[in-house]
Amino acid sequence: MPPQGGCGLIARNAACQPHARRAPAARPGAPTLSDPPPPLSLSAALLFGQLIHHSLVSSISLGIALRYVLEALRTPGGSGSKMARFGATALKQFAGDLAQWPQYCQHLAQVEWGGVGGVGG
């Protein structure tokens, strides 16, 4: 007679219900958890901008973060560029805070917007 401990019971239940351990089949072409996210997704830009807006980065990191946004906006390719869209989306998150950084505003004024995400207009 097999032991009635927890391991035997689990093994028996698993053998009787093999379908319970399988994940549902994914739609063809649907992203899976093993697929890496896009490097400059909308959510990343939103997060990046909100970190700046809520002052959740130190002064040194803030300068670097602001420079990343500025460089993304300066990326060749205009509004069709993923980098430009990233920069515009991030900038929109902290646009109300720009008065704190007048020199940064001067740099933004030099950016050729080309209709990037409606920013600057």
Considering only CA atoms, which of 116, 53, 63, 54 is closest in space to residue 86? 116
pLDDT in tens, 65-113: 999 999 999 988 776 788 888 999 999 999 999 999 999 999 999 998 7
Percent of the chain with pLDDT over 90: 45
Cα 55 to Cα 1, 33, 117, distances in angstroms: 66, 31, 24
The CATH code that applies to domain 42-118 is: 1.25.40.840
